[in-house]
Amino acid sequence: MSTAKALLCGLAILLVGVSCDQAQDRSQQINKDPADTSNTVMDTTADLNSEIDTAEWSNFNSENAFLGLGNPEFGDLDSMVVRRRIRVLVPYTQVYFTIDLKKRSGIAYEALELFETDLNKRLHLKPRQVRIIFIPVNRQQIIPLLRAGYADLAFAGMTITEERKELVDFSIPSITGLKEIIVGGPTAPKLNSLADLSGKEIYLREGSSYESAAMKLNDSLKTKELKPVIIKPLDPYLESEDILEMVNSGVIPYTAQVEDVARLWSHVMPNLVLYDTIPLATNISYGWLFRKESPKLKGVVDQFLLRYKKGTKGGNMLYDKYVKSARLLPKIYSKNSFSDVNV
- What DSSP assignment string belongs to 191-212? -SSGGGGTT-EEEEETTSHHHH
pLDDT band at 340 (very low <50, low <70, confident <90, very high): low
Inter-helix orientation angle 259-266/240-248, to 10°? 60
Residues 144/341, Cβ–Cβ less than 8 Å: no
Per-residue pLDDT tens over the stretch 36-65: 333 333 333 344 444 333 333 333 344 444
pLDDT digits (tens, 9 = 90+) for 271-312: 999 999 999 999 999 999 999 999 999 999 999 999 999 999
Neighbour count for residue 208 (Cβ, 10 Å): 19
Q: What is the pLDDT of residue 315?
A: 95
Claim: this prediction has a pTM higher than 0.85: no
pLDDT of residue 125: 87
What number is the average pLDDT over the span 162-166?
A: 95
Report d(CA 51, CA 318) in Å as an integer.
Answer: 31
| Per-residue confidence (pLDDT) for residue 335, from 0 to 100 | 56
Residue 334: predicted pLDDT: 54
CB burial readout 8-34, b (16+ within 10 A) else e: eeeeeeeeeeeeeeeeeeeeeeeeeee
pLDDT of residue 326: 86
Q: Please tell me the distance from the alpha carbon of residue 17 to that of residue 9, in angstroms, as a whole number.
A: 12
More confident residue, 149 or 127: 149
Q: Identify which has the larger pLDDT, 7 or 79.
A: 79
Is pLDDT at 331 greater than 90 in this prediction? no
CA gap 72, 96 in Å, rounded:
24
CA atoms within 13 A on the CB side of 132: 21
What is the rounded average pLDDT of the residues 316-336? 80
Residues 170, 149: Cα–Cα separation, whole Å: 16
pLDDT digits (tens, 9 = 90+) for 249-260: 999 999 999 999
Q: In this predicted model, what pLDDT tens digit does every residue of 185-202 receive, in sequence order? A: 999 999 999 999 999 999
The pLDDT-based confidence of 327 (bands split at 50, 70, 90) is: confident
